A and B are shown apart, each in its own frame.
Chain A
């Protein structure tokens, strides 16, 4: 079966005068004998790779997965070339969630940019704020008060747990398990509610400020946090036991999407996906920032590098995050939560790079200032985009059923990929 590409050289038939303008559109005039059912690109192939991909071999077929598929994470479109149920090749099509955040940031002043970068990775918004805010602080040479740093770490680790809880649920759902997502959403919802008490919003917190945070710890947040911490370990263990001892889950996830440390580093993977291959790389220890040097926690690693290892590693990280939260609450100092700064920020011309360890890996921000009150450029380095590259290497050879599971185990968020 060869590709059935429509004859592109022919101009589409002109609609008779007086009809609706959309009648000119060849995609609307379906009485033409064009075959619109194959996922062909809307242009002649531009590269050799595209031409090779969109030519079908013997017994192969295309399957257009996404952007509206029940289990794509966000709106990722993947064109799969299938041989039976086995994936031969894939062509990811990005950009369905592109909002031009980096350009928007260039036309907003420094305070406004924080709310612009917030929805990049909507699952873990605090880390999207943390990296640019730190970069601006480097540009401005601001010393952040210690209480503010503690609050940042505290809320950030809570957000990390919320993100991992969601990961666990989605991963199980992509493997066909119905219950874990609803169980893990209980924990996530509790965390999100307490963060809402702290920041004012459930999802896009807009909480970190240049030189500190927006509001101090309040009674509702602390009482909710105390309630939750008293039962958190037990709840998380129950959730983990739901999946870890499930024979079908373990058999499906182990040996799935194996990536070795060499390849992972060549792909620039970071975070849990890299640590699952045995590389103990965690910015909180390797390039310490904020108050992490003062806290005690371990960097769990695993050596298998498969989906199960990535899943188990994230569950280990949740426990470490709880340790960090405990210590933050113990050591929380008194003092101001904002550095003294003028209303209108005009940093010196220059550039600054800052990175934080988020739940998905390294969130980086590279800010360039030209001396005005708006950043000249803010480059966001997003781990989801980096990890999604690996999909091209991991999927071919696997079965159709595993495509979504492998993608879920890398835990990408399309908001961050498409920016």
Chain B
């Protein structure tokens, strides 16, 4: 007992936490195994009976869990790309090429003081970041990432997206109002004016697309863009004006440069987020970058063909039956890693005299793993539809994210009157024109085919 007490005294804080947590987890695991062993069949029956609900809960959890990593990636991209555009080095201290910096930022934000101004409305002040973050994350529920990889295939998916996405403004307004700060108030009001104005061209620019597609289900919209396998099927080609309007309005909707008036640092300090600190600020921050990802994803889904490849690939088949290898399997498992590591390490050791042998071995091992990972990815791409879909979807989405970041590095900010004037005087008429022309074309096409309009 004394030994235990002495050990306890010597432990650090994380050590003590682990000391308690590990036995608890072990107990929990054993309990779960017992429960599943006893009532597994019944639990499974209940879950299968309520499959839609289970799917929804699972997808929402996954999306909420995936949100911070996606935000981390985009924040790192933004830091690094803007640094390169500014002729700076950018983050390069934490992790290889500074890749862990945004993660460390996230941890730092968790540890900072959560400060509420004395005259703020504490309830509204606290809930504002929650509203912003959850609406942003929940609007991703209808986005089809790959064939079969989506949370819900709503037949009103597009409408759901705009409805939930438009709720963000409520959170921003709450934050701006409750902070008891005039800069915050101005930022909140600006976001309200801006998002409400740009919702209209954003929604109208897609109506032409919906007329062509005949559906509002995002899943079916993507499937329609992949009928021939060529990029000419994409709605960006069939609706260029709509694509342009959508891209501009989406930038404003995501509060990104040149439309980032809600948090214009040279004018209103940090806008609605001025008084926020700690993780509440972190939620706003995450929400912004998840917003960038989701808006890019929606643009991809609607106009750039979603998970479809831009041109039809020759169908490859690469199925290996391990059993047919016989003794070769042992050879592959035992010899190839060693040989590969040595092969990749050799040039570093032979041609760079300053590299130590063990450093060369580590480099070789890492490179071998990268190569194997690449081969494995290729195998997965060929054999699984959803891997191929995810590849193209993420490729297109992150290209659009790059464009967002590029604009941030290049463009100054517009003024509020220019912003509103642009929305009402140019984007709205243009989107109406687009809708009108599309409707006429659909009517004409129907008439030519001899069907009733």
Contacts and interface: CB of A to CB of B under 8 A. Distances in A.
Interface of A: 30, 37, 61-63, 69-71, 85, 172-179, 182-183, 186, 246, 248-249, 251-252, 399-404
A407 to B, nearest CB: 11
A173 B267 contact: no
A173 B416 contact: no
Query: Top 3 A-B pairs ranked by shortest CB distance?
Result: A176-B413, A71-B266, A177-B412
Given A246-B410, A399-B416, 6 more contacts: A37-B180, A69-B269, A85-B416, A175-B266, A178-B86, A401-B264
8 contacts: A85-B190, A175-B266, A176-B412, A178-B82, A183-B87, A186-B87, A248-B258, A400-B268
A71 B266 CA distance: 5
A179 B266 contact: no
Nearest to B180: A37
Given A176-B413, A400-B186, A182 B86 contact: yes
Given A85-B416, A252-B414, A400-B186, A179 B258 contact: no
Interface string B360-371: 000000000000
B324 interface: no
A75 B415 CA distance: 25
Interface in B295-350: none
Interface in B351-381: none
Interface in B240-276: 257-258, 260-261, 264-269
A61 B88 CA distance: 41
A248 B411 contact: yes
Contacts of B87: 182-183, 186
Nearest to A178: B409
B182 A252 contact: no
Contacts of A251: 414, 418
Contacts of A179: 82, 85-86, 409-410
A403 B186 CA distance: 15
A400 B269 CA distance: 12
Nearest to A171: B412
Contacts of A174: 266
Contacts of B265: 70-71
B449 interface: no
A252 B266 contact: no
A401 B85 contact: no
Q: Which of A70, A176, A182 has the most CB of B within 10 A?
A: A176
A175 B412 contact: yes
Nearest to A247: B411
B412 A252 contact: yes
A345 B190 CA distance: 62
B45 interface: no
Contacts of B88: 182
Interface in B402-450: 408-418
Nearest to B185: A61
Given A175-B413, A176-B257, A401 B408 contact: no
A401 to B, nearest CB: 5
B266 A248 contact: no
B411 A252 contact: no
B259 to A, nearest CB: 10
A387 B412 CA distance: 25
B136 to A, nearest CB: 23
A177 B186 contact: no
B112 interface: no
A63 B268 CA distance: 10
B119 interface: yes
B267 A400 contact: yes
Most A-side CB within 10 Å, residue of B82, B186, B267 = B267
A398 to B, nearest CB: 10
Contacts of B118: 30
B82 to A, nearest CB: 7
A186 B190 CA distance: 35
Contact of A85 (B86, B186, B258): B186
A63 B181 CA distance: 10
A209 to B, nearest CB: 37
Contact of B267 (A186, A246, A404): A404
Contacts of B413: 175-177, 248, 401
A174 B409 CA distance: 14
Nearest to B193: A85
Nearest to A251: B418
A249 B412 contact: yes
Contacts of A249: 412
B415 A401 contact: yes
Nearest to A62: B182
A355 to B, nearest CB: 33
B415 A402 contact: yes
Contacts of B261: 401
Contacts of B416: 85, 399, 401
A173 B266 contact: yes
Nearest to A398: B415
B267 A61 contact: no
Interface string B62-106: 000000000000000000001001111000000000000000000
B411 A404 contact: no
Contacts of B266: 70-71, 173-176, 404
A402 B417 CA distance: 11
B269 A70 contact: yes
B418 to A, nearest CB: 7
A62 B182 CA distance: 9
Contacts of A399: 415-417
A183 B182 CA distance: 33
B432 to A, nearest CB: 24
Contact of B182 (A63, A178, A246, A401): A63
Contacts of A63: 182-183, 186
Interface string B170-201: 00000000001011001000100000000000
A70 B413 CA distance: 16
Contacts of B418: 251-252
Nearest to A35: B119
Contacts of B409: 178-179
A1 to B, nearest CB: 12
A281 B55 CA distance: 75
* Interface core residue of B119, B266, B409, B416 (most chain A CB under 10 Å): B266
Nearest to B269: A70
B206 to A, nearest CB: 26
A69 B270 CA distance: 10
A246 B264 contact: no
A46 B265 CA distance: 34
Contacts of A182: 86-88
Contacts of B182: 61-63
Contacts of A401: 261, 264, 267, 413, 415-416
Nearest to A70: B265
Given A71-B266, A173-B266, A178 B408 contact: yes
Given A69-B269, A251-B418, A252-B418, A172 B186 contact: no
Contacts of A183: 86-87
A402 B182 CA distance: 17
A178 B180 CA distance: 29
B131 to A, nearest CB: 25
A246 B87 CA distance: 19
B250 to A, nearest CB: 18
Nearest to A405: B266
A249 B410 CA distance: 11
A33 to B, nearest CB: 12
A246 B86 contact: no
Contacts of A246: 410-412
A252 B415 contact: yes
